[in-house]
Structure 1
């Protein structure tokens, strides 16, 4: 049976050419790859998870104080059964919180990146939540360096396009499933909107990726591995050389479904004004330009948030 590979990113420094080739091949086939050897402190990840669990354990009325109506969930709390996968009839069985980039309120992007919400009920959230945000942001930039090299771009090609990216850390809580038949799944089949997603906490069963053959492949990680996948913005920028692969979180059977599931994706976005035109080196006779209409990262994000019912 096929499986999504896991690669050690330390080889980017010791065996660069081979690592870049293997990473690029994994993404061209699956749109997903596990990354280990990333050096993120396990104590940071554990501390963040403890803060996130405390956050979701707050009374519903308290959490809803941090839900900003009309903001598309850009910061703070989004309640259970709000987000709906594109073309899905049922909302996802999850609640989540959004942590974004901390920027000066006089910054040119400040209007598009609101300040974070740090609830006093969970004082550890700021230290551990934003600490994990920064660590995943740095790891994501390293992955983008390797992806750039694989398609013969300069190693630093993405650097000035993501350093103020509208990236989001999204702690997720899938509550225990109710008894009996459940018409919806924890997260319906979808593709991510952003450049790449880094997922901390795919150790619990449920995450599945749709293979080229139409079969669903389960993904679970071991050790320190973080699952990193391509989003629609990078698929667009690379004219589908790097595919954004459909994935979902299914409901586990039996007793496993009676337990909460937590996971923490980091959605790495470009700067809001980056234009998502396909790169010239990805346009060929066999792969003509699929996106002749230009769009900025911010406008694309807004378009997609409407599709998944996070904004009207």
Structure 2
């Protein structure tokens, strides 16, 4: 299967991009194993080029075992295959970024302050787990930002839901930390630069399902699987089916279909990395438009691991990425301030007023 597909068409009132849009592939095996300096330098340079031009990368050589991926997919199927009422038993309040989110209870575009026509309209369902207060004994961390997980009682999947999800969570976290090591090299920083900002990182794994039960969503008019948004933190590690749906906003304002290449994880950068680099590295706007075949939403699953940084860390533009006059488009912000505004938009319906730059790109592409 090809790594990306691009078409010239009109979908949902917005142009889908022309041929030529390309998500580069970067082999990070030199950072996973004992790669030599030249191999690491080549990987860092390739990632830097992709981060400056696209903001999305196909990463291979990541080292995630196939059996972990198979067990994880099996666990997702087990949970999302439960009756809706059973899944709702694991729902949490909007301010708690854990547990189950039913269809049409969120709107990702509000994380950018862009109000959709019918408010909470994204039709995907999701289940979130993340690092919790109990994972950092001895640190006085806010429970609101590091809530404990809500695990299903059912023994789902061959290995059990919690065991299979935890195994993948650990692997995705390893990949994210490997990438921040690469980031320091790519940006010419001292080795391990980002370690000081990620010792108790707010990391969340969001598992998404777009193939809902018949009757759960009315197939009338334009459907939004997940509204246009940027990711919030440092870096996102995305596992997904090789099924169309994910669309990335190109520099020319076009939407471009993207799916993972064989054996690849899709990597994209978040807003905090854009702030650090003063937009030298791109936090790219993306969305999910559901593939509908014969009047039915085609099966599609994904899981995004968000590596977002320490809640008390202050993110300020790197000196090497400031404008010629020493200024930056972004003022310093704590991870807490940034994440809370974003999550209040997507989960609680409070439009984020602090994302004007990203919102302008969405509106220019005709997404509202």
TM-score by length of 2: 0.79
Q: Distance in 2 between matches of 1:36 and 1:214?
A: 28
Q: Are residues 8 and 285 of structure 1, via their aligned partners in 2, closer, same or farther at CA, if it must alter by over 3 Å?
A: same
How far apart, CA to CA, are the structure 1 residues paired with 2:234 and 2:301?
23
Matched, 1:121 2:154: yes
Please say if 1:310 is aligned against 2:348.
yes
User: Is 1:96 paired with 2:126?
Assistant: yes
From 283, 287, 291, the equivalent of 2:330 is 291
Q: Deviations over 1:31-88 (max 9, x none)?
A: 110101111011111111111111111222221111112434x111111111112212
Q: Are 1:185 and 1:251, in contact at CA under 8 Å, matched by a contact in 2?
A: yes
Any stretches of 5+ residues in structure 1 without a counterpart? none
**2:174 paired residue number:** 138
CA-CA distance at 1:23 after TM superposition: 0.8
Mapping of residues 168-187 of structure 1, within 5 Å: 168-176=204-212, 180-187=219-226
Q: 1:156 aligns with which of 192, 208, 223?
A: 192
Is 1:52 aligned to 2:90, yes or no? Answer: no
Contact preservation (8 Å) 1:66, 1:117? yes
RMSD: 2.0
User: Which residue among 172, 175, 192 is the counterpart of 2:231?
Assistant: 192
Structure 1 residues 216 and 116, CA, compared in 2 at 3 Å: closer, same or farther? same
Q: How many Å separate the matches in 2 of 1:66 and 1:144?
A: 33
Partner in structure 2 of residue 279 of structure 1: 318
Give TM-score scaled by structure 1 length. 0.92
Describe the superposition over 1:202-227 as per-residue Cα deviations: whole angstroms up to 9, x where unpaired. 41111111111122221112221000
8 A Cα contact 2:136 2:200, kept in partner: no
SS of 2:348's equivalent in the other structure is coil
1:261 to 271, 291, 300: 300
Deviations 1:164-193 (A, max 9, x none): 111100110112485643333111111111
For 1:66 and 1:244, locate their aligned partners in 2 and report how far apart those are by CA, in whole Å.
31
Task: Give the total of aligned pairs.
Answer: 310
**In structure 2, C-alpha distance between the alignment counterparts of 1:252 and 1:41, rounded to whole Å:** 29
Mark the CA change 1:55 to 1:180 in structure 2 (over 3 Å): closer, same or farther.
Answer: closer
Per-residue CA deviation, residues 207-259 of structure 1 (Å, 9 max, x unaligned), is 11111112222111222100000111111121111111111111214249433
Gaps of 5+ in 2: 1-19, 351-368
Structure 1 residues 257 and 214: alpha-carbon distance in aligned structure 2, compared to 1, 3 A threshold: farther
Aligned counterpart, 1:4: 23
1:108 alignment counterpart: 140
Change (3 A) 1:156 1:130: same
Q: Which string of whole-angstrom CA distances, capped at 9 and with x for unpartnered residues, describes residues 102-148 of structure 1? A: 41465322523111111111351211111111111111111111122
Superposed structure 1 runs of 4+ greater than 6 Å apart: none
